[in-house]
Amino acid sequence: MKSATSTQISAPAPAPDVRTIGRRWSRWRPAEIAFWVVALGACVVPNENYLLLNEMAILALFAVSLDLILGYTGIVSLGHAAFFGLGAYTAALLAKHFNMDPLSGMLISCGVATFAGLVTSMLVMRGSDLTRLMVTLGVASILHELANRMGWLTGGADGLTGVPMVPLFGHVEFDIFGKVAYSYSIVTLFVLFLLARAVVKSPFGMSLQVIRQNPLRAAAMGVPVNLRRTAVYTLSAAYAGVAGALLAQTTGFASLDVLDFHRSADVLLMLMIGGAGYLYGGIMGAVIFRFMQNWLADITPQYWQFWIGLLLVIIVIVGHERLVRPWTWFRRSGGQA
Specify if 11 maps to a domain. Answer: no
List of residues 6+ apart from 18 with CB closer than 8 A = 203, 206
Between the CA of residue 299 and those of 92, 197, 249, 295, what are the distances in Å? 34, 37, 30, 7
Alpha-carbon gap, residue 56 to 290, rounded angstroms:
6
Q: How many folded domains does the chain comprise?
A: 1
First vs last Cα of the chain: how many Å apart?
Answer: 54
Q: What is the pLDDT of residue 330?
A: 54
pTM score of the predicted model: 0.87
Specify if 231 maps to a domain. Answer: yes
Q: What is the pLDDT of residue 1?
A: 47
User: What is the CATH number for 266?
Assistant: 1.10.3470
pLDDT grade for 152, boundaries at 50, 70 and 90: very high
Q: What is the pLDDT of residue 76?
A: 86
Of 305, 322, 300, 229, the residue nearest 269 (C-alpha): 305
Specify if 251 maps to a domain. Answer: yes
Domain that holds residue 142: 49-330
Alpha-carbon gap, residue 285 to 296, rounded angstroms:
16
Q: Over the stretch 258-270, which tens digit does the pLDDT of each residue have?
A: 999 999 989 998 9
Residue 91 has pLDDT above 60, yes or no: yes
Specify if 212 maps to a domain. Answer: yes
Alpha-carbon gap, residue 231 to 54, rounded angstroms:
29
List of residues 6+ apart from 120 with CB closer than 8 A = 82, 135, 136, 139, 233, 237
